[in-house]
Amino acid sequence: MASGSSRNIGAIVLFGPPGAGKGTQAKRISSYFGAPQISTGDILRESFRHGSELGIEAHSYMSRGELAPDSLVCRLVQQRLRQPDCQRGFILDGFPRTPSQAGWLDALLEDKIFENLRPGAALPIVIQIDVDYTELLRRLTGRRTCPSCGRIYNVYLQPPRVDELCDVDGSKLVIRNDDREDVITARLKAYDQQTRPVATYYRSKGKLYLVNGERPVDQVTRDIFAIIIHPPDTRTIPWGL
């Protein structure tokens, strides 16, 4: 994808259930607009691989498909957002996931270190990627990831050119630990019970934008880019449709 723009994209939140395509789309936004992708799932998995105390604590929740505690995740996000590369904007992938995380993020964005973000708009732009339950199961059970470059594939929907090998660097693709069926069920339940209310929170603030995530990846990307470049007035969006 051609590289984008030196635009200040502000704070973008990609919101949606496990398997909706948040990670896939976050990488595309990141490479086009030159803003970092901040995936709390990736940060937690990386912390666990490095044997950090927070990573080990989070791992026990992740392996059961439960959410890690708000305080732990917020601490990691705060550290990451204070890095200089976040000054012109960033893409949050998988955060916030509870109303309490959302309130915490809004308060943090008022901090003066973010004053260069999208002028006059402290709140993030929240893009909800909508996908039906059956399709989510197919996406999660078919997902494969490159352990070297992080590229995401799907054996049913977006297979690599050579079976089980990354197109970019030839690494052997891996299956995520939490993509087992019993854990997937628990993750979807956590989404329904704890994460869905975050959409209501941002809708009430006029900051939620809905995208149909069931279409091909390029079409979803096109819709998301259009929202980032010209966020429509949410008061004109028919939410019931």
In angstroms, the CA 13 to CA 124 distance is 6
Beta carbons within 8 Å of 12's beta carbon, 6+ residues apart: 29, 35, 89, 90, 91, 92, 124, 125, 127, 228
To the query of whether residue 143 is one of the catalytic residues in this protein, the response is yes
Per annotation, catalytic residue among 28, 80, 88, 97 = 97
Is 176 an active-site residue?
yes
Element (H, E) at 24: helix 22-33
> Closest CB to ligand AP5 among 116 and 200?
200
How many other C-beta atoms can be found within 10 angstroms of the C-beta atom of residue 15? 28
Number of C-beta neighbours around residue 20 at 10 A: 23
**Which residues are at the interface with ligand AP5 (CB under 6 A)?**
16, 18-24, 39-41, 44, 61-62, 65-68, 73, 94-95, 97, 101, 139, 142-143, 152-154, 157-158, 178, 187, 213, 216-217, 220
Catalytic residue among 28, 45, 139, 143: 143
Cβ-based nearer residue to ligand AP5, 88 or 139: 139
222 is catalytic: no
Compare residues 7 and 137 and give the one whose CB is closer to ligand AP5.
Answer: 137
Whichever of 7 and 66 has its CB closer to ligand AP5, that residue is 66
Smallest distance, Å, CB 39 to ligand AP5?
6
| Token pair of 240 as six digits | 């019931």
Min separation Cβ 135 and ligand AP5, Å = 8
Three-class SS of 74-114:
HHHHHHHHCCHHHCCEEEEECCCCCHHHHHHHHHHHCCHHH
What's the closest the beta carbon of residue 217 comes to ligand AP5, in angstroms? 4
With CB atoms as reference, the residue minimizing the distance to ligand AP5 is: 41
Write down the least CB distance from residue 4 to ligand AP5, Å. 20
Q: Tokens 């709140």, residue?
A: 123
Q: Is the dihedral of CA 130, 58, 190, 69 positive or negative?
A: negative
Dist CA 43 CA 54 (whole Å): 10
Known catalytic membership, residue 161: no
Min dist CB 147 to ligand AP5, Å, is: 14
Q: Is 97 annotated in the active site?
A: yes
Of 88 and 97, nearer to ligand AP5 (C-beta) is 97
State how far the Cα of 160 lies from the Cα of 167, in Å rounded to an integer: 6
Could you tell me if 163 and 175 are in contact, meaning their C-beta atoms sit under 8 angstroms apart? no
Q: Looking at the annotation, which residues are catalytic?
A: 22, 97, 143, 176, 187
